[in-house]
Structures are given as structure tokens and as C-alpha cells.
């Protein structure tokens, strides 16, 4: 079990497909701390060149955009890589019955983990998990993995799929790294029999550059190239006083998922993420989101018959503003914010606790709506075409009235529709059918 735990830390060091930046001086922190997603308070300043669409026209606009997006994602694009995944699983399932199948890999893991582990001194063991310790070259020969010797620059697995096509999975990490430590990485055991506690302090060496690739028959199926730069005053991460930034790009079967920025500003209790999904040179979806809240550490404990384990995890408190912006094909934009997440949660909770009192329920839902500022826009224009709010609905249980809330769309002509009534089967039947067909196509790939 300890080996498995140790190996998981090593995989964290190997697989952090990101660029990790801790920001430096105060000026830079202030520049990065500005509110990134601006949400208009109302439609008081519409774009004069934009024609306001009726609810019917907006249904048509949304349907056309949804159908266009679905048509651009084809399950067949992923057929080769899913076939490879299934083939690889079949090979592993068949050979895993042989005790000698993975013996070479298990021995290699044991040796690599031992290179990362320090000596136990005063009941404390300090471990440093480096990707550079997990390098090697393995080839599947018949029903047995064979260690082909040291590969100082990469970890490589070579095998033929069930069609005899050569496959290579390769992970390459640079020798240069930055040690990163946090209390959540550590583990503490207590032995009641010896009346002694043992602490394992785990530090991960984040490589400056990491590349991961999958080739099949000499053709690239998937790849990720990662560059890393960390600047810390000390190895220990300080989430209250430091800022961090992550970027990552993954290419699979002609599609690209780019985390343009994943930013945590500990100095301002704020997080921000920007993600783009492309097919070839066409942008399908882009999304930005940000949220405020204070991260703190919480210690948890699990008792066992022989002693107990203790660990630390993250918890978020004092949640305030959150904002989201989603763009689909440049045609539809969803932009909104929750002004104060804690207040919204409190008002909704208070409403649900008074679901038999109509006046109190409605009052709390109205207060909750005051925390929402969510709008629907089209073609990148500034005119808000619709807003999203909560409405109160009622239902009966025997002879008693109860109240509930659900989201609704409010249009500029003062009409409103619940999501269920607006996205009905009349206008969106083709979208629903096309989406379900796409899901079924993907299901068939994995059968």
C-alpha cells in the first residue's frame, strides 16, 4: 500500500501537464488581479446596430447554433484512438493473468520509488519524487513486459496492438525541476502498539518541460507539450500569500483543448480559468470563469484498529463573486455573474426551509435573484437579448401547498419561460435527436 501511495506521487510529478508560474512583485500581482470578466448590469446601453430578437427568433438562433456545433463533432474522428484503447485493454486483461507479465515493471517501480524516498530520521521521512527517477524503456514481447534498459531522458512503452500495429507511449521530462511541497502531500501514521507516530513529508519535483505522446503505426494520435516555470521563496506552497498560474495544451485526433490560463491569486482570494476547444483551426467553444473565496487548510483524521491516519485538505470559505462567459462558435454568448455566492446560497437555503410559506419563500427567491446578473447575447454584440433568473413554482402534496424554484428566461418584451417550456421538443427536437445520435455514436466506439 505504501508503494502504491508513493508511486501516485511520482505520477503526479510525471503527469502535471501544465505550466505553473508563481508571480513575483506586487505590481505584477496587482495587474493580474483585475476583474477579468465584465458583466453588464443591465441592457441600458444596447448596441444600436443590433436588432432585438423575439423569443421565437432566439429559439431559432439557439437551435441553429446547437445543430451546427453538434455537426462539427464526429465520433468517427476518435475511432482510431478508441480502438487503440480497447485493444490495449484487451492485451492487458489477457496477459495480466500471467504472474510474469508485469514483473519487470513492478521491479522498476520499486527501484524508482526507493530512489525518491529518504531515510527515516526521528520518525520523519522526507521524500522527493522526481520524474527523472522514473525513466526507462519497456517492450511487450509475447505476454511479458521486458525491461530494455535505461533511457535517461524518457519513460517509454512499446507494444503491438491486436492488429499488430506498433504503438509507442512516451513521456519525456527535463532534468531541471523545482521542488514543491504542501502539507496536503504529507501523511502521518500512528502505531498504537509502539505508541509512535510516523510522518512522511512528500515533495514533488516539477520538471521545467514535459512532453507526452502516443504514436500508432508511426502516426501521432495524441500529444501534450508542457513547459513549467515556478518561482517560490521556499518549497512550501503558500496559498494565502502567493499567486500561481497554469497553462496546458492537449491535442487528440485533430481536436485541441487549451487551458489558456488557470490562475490562482492567493493574495486576492481569487481564481480564474480560460479554456478553448478547437477543431483544426476553428474555435468551437471558449470559456472563461472566475470566482472569489478564501482557501484554508482542514485537518481530517481516520481511526483504525491499529492506530490512525491524519491528513490535510483544502476547503474554501468566504465565497463571494463568481462569473462565467461561454462563447459557442462566435454565434451565442452566455455571460453572467453571481455577485455573492455565500449570500445566494443562504437565500436559497432559507427559501427551501420555508417551502410551505409562500410569502417568505418568494421573498428569499427575490433576494437570491438580486445576486444574479446573467444574460444571453448573440454574435458578440453588446445587446442583452435575455436574462436568466429564478421563478417560484408551486405543487401540492395531498391538500398542502409547497413552493419550489427553477431557472427561467426573461426576454426584453417582458415575457418569460421556464427552461423546460422554452427548450421544448417542438423547436429543439432536431437538436435533441442529433445530440442523442452523437452520444450513441460515442457509445458504440467504446462497446
- Environment class of 316 (CB within 10 Å of its CB; exposed 0-12, middle 13-18, buried 19+): middle
Handedness of CA 189, 194, 195, 201 (dihedral sign): negative
Indicate the SS3 state at residue 366.
helix
Q: Of 226, 225, 177, 242, whose CA–CA distance to 204 is shortest? A: 177
Model confidence, pTM = 0.71
How much is the pLDDT for 268? 77
How much is the pLDDT for 16? 36
How much is the pLDDT for 436? 67
Angstrom CA distances, 228 to 156, 244, 249, stand at 21, 12, 13
- Site of grid cell 484554508: 296
- pLDDT tens for the chain, 447 residues long, are 344 344 444 443 444 333 333 343 444 444 455 446 777 765 545 565 667 888 888 888 888 888 888 888 888 888 888 888 888 888 777 766 666 778 888 888 888 888 888 888 888 888 888 888 888 888 888 888 888 877 777 888 988 888 888 999 999 888 888 788 877 788 888 878 878 888 888 888 888 788 889 989 888 888 887 776 666 666 676 666 667 777 788 888 888 888 888 777 777 778 888 899 999 889 999 998 888 877 776 777 787 776 777 676 766 766 778 888 989 999 989 888 888 888 988 999 999 999 889 999 999 999 999 998 888 898 988 888 888 888 898 888 888 889 999 888 888 887 888 877 777 666 566 666 666 666 676 566 555
C-alpha cell at 335: 455571460
Q: Which residues pair with 400 in a beta bridge?
A: 397
Amino acid at each position: 500500500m505504501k508503494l502504491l501511495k508513493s508511486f501516485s506521487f511520482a505520477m503526479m510529478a510525471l503527469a502535471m501537464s501544465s505550466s505553473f508560474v508563481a508571480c513575483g512583485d506586487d505590481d505584477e500581482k496587482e495587474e493580474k488581479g483585475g476583474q477579468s470578466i465584465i458583466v453588464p448590469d443591465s441592457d441600458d446601453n444596447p448596441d444600436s446596430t443590433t436588432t432585438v430578437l423575439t423569443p421565437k427568433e432566439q429559439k431559432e438562433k439557439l437551435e441553429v447554433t446547437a445543430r451546427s456545433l453538434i455537426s462539427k463533432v464526429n465520433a468517427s474522428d476518435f475511432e482510431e484512438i478508441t480502438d487503440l484503447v480497447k485493444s490495449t485493454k484487451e492485451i492487458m486483461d489477457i496477459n495480466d493473468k500471467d504472474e510474469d507479465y508485469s514483473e519487470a515493471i513492478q521491479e522498476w517501480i520499486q527501484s524508482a520509488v526507493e530512489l525518491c524516498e529518504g531515510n527515516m530520521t526521528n520518525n520523519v521521512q522526507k521524500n522527493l519524487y522526481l520524474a527523472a527517477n522514473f525513466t526507462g524503456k519497456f517492450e511487450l514481447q509475447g505476454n511479458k513486459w521486458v525491461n530494455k534498459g535505461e533511457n535517461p531522458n524518457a519513460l517509454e512503452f512499446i507494444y503491438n496492438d491486436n492488429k499488430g500495429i506498433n504503438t509507442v507511449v512516451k513521456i519525456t521530462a527535463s532534468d531541471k525541476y523545482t521542488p514543491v511541497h504542501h502539507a496536503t502531500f504529507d501523511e502521518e501514521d500512528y502505531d498504537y502498539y509502539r505508541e509512535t507516530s510516523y510522518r512522511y513529508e512528500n515533495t514533488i519535483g516539477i520538471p521545467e518541460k514535459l512532453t507526452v505522446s502516443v504514436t500508432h503505426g508511426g502516426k501521432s494520435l495524441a500529444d501534450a507539450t508542457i513547459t513549467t516555470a515556478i518561482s517560490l521563496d521556499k518549497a512550501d506552497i503558500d496559498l494565502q500569500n502567493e499567486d500561481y498560474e497554469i497553462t496546458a495544451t492537449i491535442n487528440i485526433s485533430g481536436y485541441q483543448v487549451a487551458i489558456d490560463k488557470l490562475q490562482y491569486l492567493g493574495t486576492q482570494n481569487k481564481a480564474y480559468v480560460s479554456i478553448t476547444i478547437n477543431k483544426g483551426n476553428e474555435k468551437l467553444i471558449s470559456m472563461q470563469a472566475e470566482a472569489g473565496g478564501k482557501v484554508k487548510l482542514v485537518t481530517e483524521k481516520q481511526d483504525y484498529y491499529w492506530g490512525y491516519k491524519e491528513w490535510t485538505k483544502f476547503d474554501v470559505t468566504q465565497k463571494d463573486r463568481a462569473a462565467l462567459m461561454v462563447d459557442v462558435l462566435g454565434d451565442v454568448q452566455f455571460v453572467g455573474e453571481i455577485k455573492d455566492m455565500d449570500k445566494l446560497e443562504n437565500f436559497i437555503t432559507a427559501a427551501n426551509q420555508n417551502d410551505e410559506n409562500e410569502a417568505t419563500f418568494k421573498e428569499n427567491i427575490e433576494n437570491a435573484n438580486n445576486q444574479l446578473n446573467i444574460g444571453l447575447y448573440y454574435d458578440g454584440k453588446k445587446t442583452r437579448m435575455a436574462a436568466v433568473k429564478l421563478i417560484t413554482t408551486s405543487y401540492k402534496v395531498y391538500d398542502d401547498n409547497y413552493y419550489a424554484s427553477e431557472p427561467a428566461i426573461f426576454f426584453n418584451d417582458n415575457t418569460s419561460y421556464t427552461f423546460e417550456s422554452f427548450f421544448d421538443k417542438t423547436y429543439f427536437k432536431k437538436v435533441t435527436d442529433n445530440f442523442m445520435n452523437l452520444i450513441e455514436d460515442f457509445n458504440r466506439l467504446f462497446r
